[in-house]
Amino acid sequence: MYKTVKRFFDFVFSLIGLSVALPVILIVGITLYFLNAGKAFFVQPRPGKNEKIFKIIKFKSMNDKKDEQGNLLSNEERITKFGRFIRKTSLDEIPQLFNVLKGDMSLVGPRPLKVEYLKVYNEEQKKRHLIRPGISGWAQINGRNAITHTEKFKLDVWYVNNQSFLLDLKILIATAKKVFIKEGVGQDGYNTNTPFNGTN
C-alpha cells in the first residue's frame, strides 16, 4: 500500500521543503554564483528508477580549475572553503528536492551513483534501481563512508525489499541527526576517493 502513496508524500514534503528552504537556496545560490564564476549548481547524469538516466542537481562545491594540460585538478584542490561548509552542513543536497518534486528521485531510497557503475553491478546489486533513488537511504544511516560499496549495495537492496512508511520515517530522523552532528558527511554518502569497479 505504502509503495503506491509514497510518490504523493514525496511530492508534498519536497514542495514544503523547498518553500521553507527558499531563503537558504537564494543565499547559497547567489554566493556560489560569485565564487564559481557564475556556476552555482552541479548537474550530472545519474541512473534512476529502472536505470532511466536523469540529471541530478546539487549546489556546486568545487570550482573548475585546471592544470597546464587542461585537465581538472583533483577534487581536494578544487573544493572551495564555502564548498566545504555546504558539504559539512549538507546544504549542497537541498537542490535535490527539485529532483524529488519532478519525480526523478524520492526523499528516501538508494543513492543515485555514477552512470558508469551500471556496467559493473551484478544482478543482485542492480535491484537497487527497481525504485526511485533517494536523497538519503538505509545505507547512509548504517555506515555511510565507513563501509564498502558492496556492503552499501546490500543495504540498498534490503531497503528495496523492505520499504515502509515507518522505515522511511526512521531513516529521515536518523539522517537529520547525522546532519546535525555532522557525522560521516561526504559526497553522495559514499567514499568519493574509492570508485566502484565491481569488486570492492
> Which class for 68: exposed (0-12), middle (13-18), buried (19 or more C-beta within 10 A)?
exposed
Specify the length of the chain in residues.
200
pLDDT digits (tens, 9 = 90+) for 38-62: 899 999 999 999 999 999 999 999 8
- Computed over every residue of the chain, the mean pLDDT equals 89
Confidence of residue 144 (pLDDT cuts 50, 70, 90): low
Over range 156-180, report the average pLDDT. 93
Q: What is the pLDDT of residue 145?
A: 66
Contact status, residue 141 vs residue 56, Cβ threshold 8 Å? no
pLDDT digits (tens, 9 = 90+) for 25-37: 999 999 999 988 8
Over range 88-98, report the average pLDDT. 94
Can you give the residue ranges of every domain in the chain? 2-189
Flag whether pLDDT at 134 surpasses 90: yes
Least confident range from 2-16, 30-44, 79-93, 182-196: namely 182-196
Q: What is the pLDDT of residue 11?
A: 96
String of b and e for 105-135 (b: at least 16 CB within 10 Å)? bbbbbbbbbeeebeeebeeebebbbebbbbb
